[in-house]
Chains A and B, each alone.
Chain A
Amino acid sequence: MCGIVGIYLKNKKYNSQLGKFLTGMMNSMATRGPDSAGFAIYSSEKKKKYKYSVCSNTDQVKEISKKLSKQVKDIKVKSISDHLIIETAMKPKKFIEILKNHDELSLVGYGSCIEIFKQVGNPKDVVKNFSLEKFSGSHAIGHTRMATESAITTDGSHPYSTGEDECLVHNGSLSNHNNLRRSLQKKGIEIKSLNDTEVAAGYISNGLSDKKSLKETLLDGLKDLDGFYTFISGTKNGMAIVRDEIACKPAVVAETKDYVAIASEFQAMAHLPNVNSAKIFEPEPGKVYSWGK
């Protein structure tokens, strides 16, 4: 099972309601994945600033902030449930090295506009814990997980992010992820968990760092990734969806002049404005669809 959702707003007037829309989508997909949930929100880019989404296993936020501010100048820490959003001008390479010295913190994603939150538990509780309703932004991607490939932990939850402002959610399972993981790790892509989707995220990061477009990378993936999948991938410019050639895993797209929404089932979009007059279609197998700036 697993439920995947994504929404890209074409009309800025809805930006303040992005979190509200995604909350409804995640809630109705809770039945497809009751084990854990996560989401990535893209908001406007902050020039020369990076946001690091970090999961912490301690509630001593103040002490962590103090410790970090000794090592990093000009740091802003925002705490939401068990996550911290750390904002600083420090470049990723350096900051990630510093984070590695803090065993109580694990990085879930970073970039100039992405924020990622994920947690074990029923999606309905998870979105409440992170107050998803209050978020605004331009596009967002979410996942509700029914665990198959790896343990029910925050590490095993989606979305996966293996590059700046990138994220991936997946409905399905990959069968050649161990081999691929090894070859990607040799190329220097960091993959932390034993999960199959993180390998696919790493595969996309590798493609993008080779200066390929997201569309080209996903098309290459049809040859290299063996298994069943519907992927929704996000970048700071937009989002894309691809289904494997067998297309066992569902997906439906609703497009209006104001937004594009993707979900595993139509019921996840039934609450969106004017959805009944939207252009509704199922993505064809082996074809990449993308929307963005």
Chain B
Amino acid sequence: MNLNLKKESLRKVNETLQSIDRKSNKKIFKISNPDGNHAICAGLKDEIEVTIDGHTGYYCAGMNMNANIIVNGNVGTGVAENMMSGTVHVKGNASQSAGATAHGGTLIIDGDTSSRCGISMKGIDIIVKGSVGHMSAFMAQSGNLVICGDAGDALGDSIYEANIFIKGKVKSLGADCEEKKMNKKDQNILRSLLKKASINESEIKNFKMYSSARKLYNFNIDNVSEY
């Protein structure tokens, strides 16, 4: 089914996708002329496949549950923010806060993302084939962020229990984020994520892993003069 945003309102298109007749076989949708509109495909909750042909604005595929969304273009701020499950695949670049606060699902970005990728992520797997901007994985709580390119300043600042896998250079690490040795379990996680994004598994050896040093978890009396 084709949905043309030049002919139909954004609200109508989202309503159509949000209220799928589960008995019907209509599972594949295409959206044309997104023209940078905000909140396209927000709040989908069924196992459907939606392809968006063009660039989108803010919060594309926000709060996604179950749906598989493909964007043939760039996305604005907050793609797949608060996603619960499902897959979002961006063929172009993403703006700030990609995958912010998302609880689950997979976000694949073929290009680069700007700052704060995976900010406060709570269980999502994010795979970025390009580079990420500053403050990525800021306060990330759970889930995995895979970066095939480089990372900007303050990677993983105040990180909790999420993992960061990165192949390229890290400009600087944020507070309480440190490099960790990858064990078998970590390697298996990374292998399955690379597979999901169709990246050669042999690349695993080129990745480094970063996560929390857990020094900010409890108050440290030695730091009392800082307050």
Interface residues of A (CB under 8 A from B): 247, 250, 252, 265-271, 276, 280-282, 284-285
Contacts and interface: CB of A to CB of B under 8 A. Distances in A.
A285 B134 contact: yes
B58 A265 contact: yes
A280 B36 contact: no
Contact of A270 (B35, B58, B96): B35
Nearest to B72: A276
Given A266-B56, A266-B74, 14 more contacts: A247-B96, A247-B133, A265-B57, A266-B36, A266-B76, A267-B38, A271-B35, A280-B55, A280-B92, A282-B93, A282-B95, A282-B114, A285-B133, A285-B134
B77 interface: yes
7 contacts: A250-B96, A265-B57, A266-B57, A267-B57, A276-B55, A280-B93, A282-B114
Given A250-B96, A282-B95, A282-B114, A270 B77 contact: no
Given A250-B77, A285-B115, A270 B134 contact: no
A129 to B, nearest CB: 26
A265 B76 contact: yes
Contacts of A269: 36
B168 interface: no
B95 A250 contact: yes
B182 to A, nearest CB: 30
Interface string B126-142: 00000001100000000
Which secondary structure characterizes the binding site on chain B? loop
Contacts of B74: 266, 280
Interface extent on B, as a size class? Answer: 20 to 34
B37 interface: yes
B54 interface: yes
A281 B112 CA distance: 10
A280 B54 CA distance: 12
Given A265-B57, A265-B58, A282-B95, A270 B114 contact: no
A91 B133 CA distance: 48
Given A247-B114, A280-B74, A285-B134, A267 B93 contact: no
A250 B36 CA distance: 14
Nearest to B58: A265
The list of the 7 closest CB pairs from A to B, nearest first, reads: A267-B36, A270-B35, A266-B36, A282-B114, A270-B36, A266-B55, A267-B57
Contacts of A285: 115, 133-134
Contacts of B76: 250, 252, 265-266
A247 B95 contact: no
Interface in B36-93: 36-38, 54-58, 73-74, 76-77, 92-93
B37 to A, nearest CB: 6
Contacts of A250: 76-77, 95-96
Contacts of B58: 265
B93 A281 contact: yes
A266 B57 CA distance: 7
A281 to B, nearest CB: 7
A246 B202 CA distance: 36
Contacts of B54: 276
Nearest to A271: B35
B134 A252 contact: no
B136 to A, nearest CB: 13
A282 B94 CA distance: 9
A247 B57 contact: no
A268 B115 CA distance: 21
A247 B36 contact: no
Nearest to A266: B36
Nearest to B35: A270
